[in-house]
Amino acid sequence: DWKIQDVLDEEIKTIKSMVGTDEHVICALSGGVDSTIAATLVHNVIGDRLHCVFVDNAKLTYDLICIYKEKERVMSTFNSDLHLPVTCIDASEQFLSKLKGVKDPEMKRKIVGKEFIAQTGKRPEYLVQGTLYPDVIESCLPPGSGMTHSHTIKSHHNVDGLPEDMKLKLIEPLKLLFKDESFLKRHPFPGPGLAVRIPSGDVTEGNALEILRQADEIYVQAIRDAGLYDTIWQAFAVLLPVETVGVQGDQRTYGYPVTLRAITSEDGMTADWYYFERKFLADVSNRICNNVRGVNHVCVDITSKPPATVEWE
Ligand code: XMP
């Protein structure tokens, strides 16, 4: 008989025995439900030896800011509603200056990962990760659930992103849990944030990040308004850092193309592209072009995974 409490009790025991009595643990809340829940669980076990930080990193973690509209409300949700002591570090300038001129996708991931830890100013022994692992649950599959074990383990983007001299031991209290869609309905958001959504581009160049944020907000809000948010597994805009020509009024414009990505999936390992109705796409395209200065082409990504990945880099 499979009970969630048994899994959590087992995890609590593991955390207690792993962490000892004077070691410190860090959790970088970069946005998303999983890391928040993981942090809450660990906090219940080790109290103030858990150091949670929300790094305001030039709004790369736009998802979280987008839900709450401003940083103060993110912090109040953590501190007052969840009783999770979180320190907010404003590191926008540092993140942008480290990312300046960087176009290589793996470098971007490494820089974001390293900067997160560096900004906390701590030398912790452990890192809390909220990653869920559908792939390691085989021995705990709820009987009769119909769930099957997939044999490919998802690579650990965030930890792989950390440099060698910063290897931390991992605490993953949710690793035996599936995401129950009725409980955790937010779309996944990658740890490196919008840094990986301007493929092969320097995210500090021009207004690219701001343009991407605005286009993404219009697109995802339209998905919510159409009642499609829960049908779609993940949706986001990608900004392609190439100069494109358009015409608005009688003027020639120079801007960027934005690509709309939406997928359905079970666990992100494989995915199908989502087929929107023409009217929905036409509305989103109009809204983006009319409201986001700097965009004059809107494209739709119609590739599944494989051969594509979910993110563009
Ligand atoms: P891919 O692009 O690998 O994405 O098909 C699969 C899922 O993982 C998310 N993703 C990331 N999450 N750090 C993260 O925390 C990353 O570096 C990263 N890269 C991709 C992606 O958004 C999708 O949900």
In this predicted model, what pLDDT tens digit does every residue of 25-53 receive, in sequence order?
888 776 567 778 889 889 989 998 898 88
Residue 15 counted as domain residue: yes
Average pLDDT for the chain: 81
Q: What is the pLDDT of residues 196-224, one digit of tens each?
A: 999 999 999 989 999 999 999 999 999 99
* Residue 312 belongs to some domain of the structure: no
Task: Provide the pLDDT confidence category of residue 4 given band limits of 50, 70 and 90.
Answer: confident
From the CA of 190, how far away is ligand 1's center (Å)?
5
Which atom number of ligand 1 is nearest to the Cα of residue 189? 22
Task: Looking at the structure, tell me whether residues 149 and 78 fall in a common domain.
Answer: yes
Structural domain contains residue 284: yes
| Partners of 20 in the β-ladder | none
pLDDT, residue 182, reads 38
Residue 237 has a pLDDT of 97
Distance 57 CA to ligand 1 centre (A): 18
- Measure 247 CA to ligand 1 centroid, in angstroms: 35
Pair 115, 215 in one domain: no
> Which of 5-9, 16-20, 69-73 is the least confident region?
69-73
Distance, CA of 297 to chain centre: 25
| Closest-lying ligand 1 atom to the alpha carbon of residue 233 | 24
- Per-residue pLDDT band for 179 (boundaries 50, 70, 90) equals low
d(CA 221, CA 233): 15
**Which CATH number is 145's domain given?**
3.40.50.620
Note whether residue 74 is domain-resident: yes
Its domain, for residue 243, covers 206-300
Give the CATH number, domain containing residue 225: 3.30.300.10
In this structure, the answer to whether residues 16 and 145 fall within a common structural domain is yes
Q: Which of 125, 150, 171 is the last residue in one of the domains? A: 171
Q: What pLDDT shows up at residue 303?
A: 98
Residue 192 domain-assigned (yes or no) = no
Segment of 84-98, 149-163, 270-284 carrying the highest mean pLDDT: 270-284
- Co-location of 165 and 21 in the same domain: yes
pLDDT band at residue 150 using 50, 70 and 90 as cut-offs: very low
Please give the number of the atom of ligand 1 that sits closest to the Cα of 161.
17
Number of residues that make up the chain: 313
* Residue bearing the CA closest to ligand 1, atom 4: 310
pLDDT band per the 50, 70, 90 thresholds, residue 280: very high
Indicate whether 64 and 108 sit together in one domain.
Answer: yes
Domain tally, the chain: 2
Exposed, middle or buried: residue 25 (CB in 10 Å: 0-12, 13-18, 19+)?
Answer: buried
Q: Which residues contact 84 (CB under 8 A, 6 or more apart)?
A: 36, 39, 40, 43, 52, 78
